[in-house]
Structure 1
């Protein structure tokens, strides 16, 4: 029997499927972004220190997805795309220090609604070109109007120095079709090692400054104030005693 479906209706149906497919990755990214924002605010309020310098999220375009699929041998359905391309949704967290990377990683991995698929530590085991970062693949529950679906998000966590190196490396070698001379690859690796030396030096300085701060901390009690959302509250003495009894 001939297919009498209107071509315009066919195109609308295809467009609707693609929009729905991309929307769930957008929503998954928003879920992870919210988690990170909560961590940032918690650190700022409770520890007076924010280990996260900034974040950047992105969705692969349909064109980029298809190019990657072709490199992998193609796919026959949207389900195949979901199974084969794990970085359609990605978020990069840039931290101040190396220890912050593992701190944030542990916090994210401990969240019950994140299903951790894999963790790749390119800091302890850098790529041959010198690339360093911590990669987490996590499934995030996305609640649509008619279903719940687990959607994969790639989370990259790195320091400012690692991010600087990776950004410039990408600009230098992006779409480089010709073989890169060995000398340039060696220089690139040296630059990555230099960036890591900077990270370790700054980490050591930060630890020493923390020790100095602790040594000079005052036990004065007149500073019992609570600051939330730029509002300052005085803490009643009986509330202080109640909290103290909880240990």
Structure 2
């Protein structure tokens, strides 16, 4: 189950990464075991979907409120995805972990994912601060904006615990939240497309150019942020 979501501005955007087939994701795992696991993941996927729904609702509300009250929406668009059962099973198997829903819940933090794309770098941290202010627990932070990956990749990754209020209990559901600017998102989508077409590894001859492109995207972000700050100081 991996679908895009409707953005606050009305467009439909899909999570941009191509998905491998179920057969490829099963790898060397025994097929009968994998299929049995897939049949037992209904509750696991349902509660993670609810976690995504809870977070998406908050993000949409903040987006509309800022657009109305502050005339600047820090959220350009949002996408979401739930990892498919065969991908969950394959990841557990690769790690040498028991392939069952309990193991998946305990050991995997990326079953549910939400990506927020923002106009400016300051908006990325604004959305992060909103998460903090509303007492949503941030379990892990990886700031690839402050410290980009060697290939130039930039994004802010958070693992957060989203409270899901069911009829008989409240569950804390781990959701992977990625926050990035439009320029960062463009670079990451194109880089992943190159990875996909080249079998999972970008050709060495592309490495320097990709990093240069990431630097150019970062420069564009800085320039646009400067213009935004000036427009705030010098209205009209």
* TM norm structure 1: 0.76
- Rg larger in structure: 1
User: Using the alignment, how far apart are the partners of 1:170 and 1:188 within structure 2?
Assistant: 11
In the alignment, which residue of structure 2 is the partner of 1:182? 204
Deviation at 1:147, TM superposition (A): 2.6
Q: What is the aligned counterpart of 2:115 among 85, 92, 96?
A: 92
Q: Superposition RMSD on alpha carbons, in Å?
A: 2.1
Q: Report the CA distance between 1:209 and its aligned residue.
A: 1.6
- What is the alpha-carbon distance in structure 1 between the residues aligned to residue 89 and residue 37 of structure 2? 19
Question: Secondary structure at the residue paired with 1:155?
Answer: strand
Q: Unpaired segments of 5 or more residues in structure 2?
A: 1-34
Q: RCO (CA 8 Å, sep 6+): is it higher in 1 or 2?
A: 2
Structure 1: state its 5+ residue gaps: 1-10, 217-247
Choose which of 86, 94, 98 in structure 2 pairs with 1:71: 94
Partner of 2:153: 131
What corresponds to 1:39 in structure 2?
A: 62
What are the superposed Cα offsets for residues 67-119 of structure 1, whole Å, 9 maximum, x if unpaired?
2223322324312111221111000000000111111111112212x121011
Residues 179 and 149 of structure 1: is their aligned pair in 2 closer, same or farther, counting only changes over 3 Å? closer
Deviates more, 1:182-191 or 1:88-97: 182-191
Report the CA distance shift for 1:181/1:41 in structure 2 as closer, same or farther (over 3 A): closer
Structure 2 match to 1:207:
229
The answer to whether residue 27 in structure 2 is matched with residue 24 in structure 1 is: no
Give 1:174 shift: 2.2
- Tell me how far apart the structure 2 counterparts of residues 100 and 178 of structure 1 sit (CA, whole Å): 31
Report the equivalent of 1:118: 140
**Contact 2:38–2:85 under 8 Å retained in 1:** no
Q: Distance in 2 between matches of 1:14 and 1:192?
A: 38
Kindly indicate whether residue 105 of structure 2 is the aligned counterpart of residue 50 of structure 1. no
Q: Residues 139 and 158 of structure 2 are in contact (CA less than 8 Å); yes or no, is this contact kept in structure 1?
A: yes
Q: Distance between the aligned counterparts of 2:64 and 2:146, measured in 1?
A: 29
Contact 2:116 2:179 in 1 (8 A): yes
SS for the counterpart of 2:151 is: coil
Secondary structure of the residue aligned to 1:174 is helix
Q: 1:172 aligns to what?
A: 194
The answer on 1:81 being equivalent to 2:104 is: yes
The alpha carbon displacement at 1:12 in A equals: 10
TM-score, normalisation: structure 2: 0.79
Structure 1 Cα separation of the partners of residues 110 and 36 of structure 2: 27
CA gap of 1:14–1:103, structure 2 versus 1, over 3 A, is closer
Query: Deviations along 1:112-131, whole A, 9 cap, x unmatched?
Result: 2x121011100011111111
